[in-house]
Amino acid sequence: MSYSVILEDIRAKMAAITDIGVVHHYQRWSADWKKFLAHFAYTPEGSDQQEIRGWTISRAAAPEHLRGAYFRHHIFRLRGYLGLRDEVATELTFQELIEDICDTFRSATPADPAANWYYLYGDEPDEDSAQVELIDIRIFGSTLCHYAELVLHCMERIVP
């Protein structure tokens, strides 16, 4: 099964983005907002101030079909969080991080050249594998945060 290999490849590529924040390879959650936000505590390079900055990766669906061979379309949801601070224009920082993620996966290839999966939108190969579905502002507990959801598509050829 390639799920765990694909998941780790996504995590590694995201973690390599400068100041992306904390990258979790599963959806973090807690009923206690302080604990939830603690999962995303990060100190950017050159700063001594900790902030909320991080991402989670979780597979949202994995439909499969047969077209000469079996193909599985892994659909990953990337959720991003950044503490909102108007005085330092954190929206601009957050928008740039989203662009960095899209740039990273636009021409990405699996770390293993012999892999049987690819970063592409299988049913719509002309579309980029990374799609930005939502950019918003949310309140987590009493903390105002930038929030985004990106969808990342990977197509795997199932080799029995």
- Residue-level pLDDT at 1: 57
For residues 118 and 38, the answer to whether their CB atoms sit within 8 Å is: no
With 0-12 / 13-18 / 19 or more C-beta atoms within 10 angstroms meaning exposed / middle / buried, residue 85 is middle
Alpha-carbon distance of 149 to 3, in angstroms, equals: 20
CATH match of 3-158 with 3.30.2000.30: yes
pTM across the whole model: 0.91
Amino acid identity for residue 54 in this structure: G
CA distances from 133 to 99, 121, 147 (A): 13, 14, 11
Tens of pLDDT, residue by residue, the chain (160 residues): 589 999 999 999 999 999 999 999 999 988 888 898 899 999 998 888 899 999 999 999 999 988 788 889 999 999 999 999 999 999 999 999 999 999 999 878 888 878 888 887 666 666 678 999 999 999 988 899 999 999 999 989 887 7
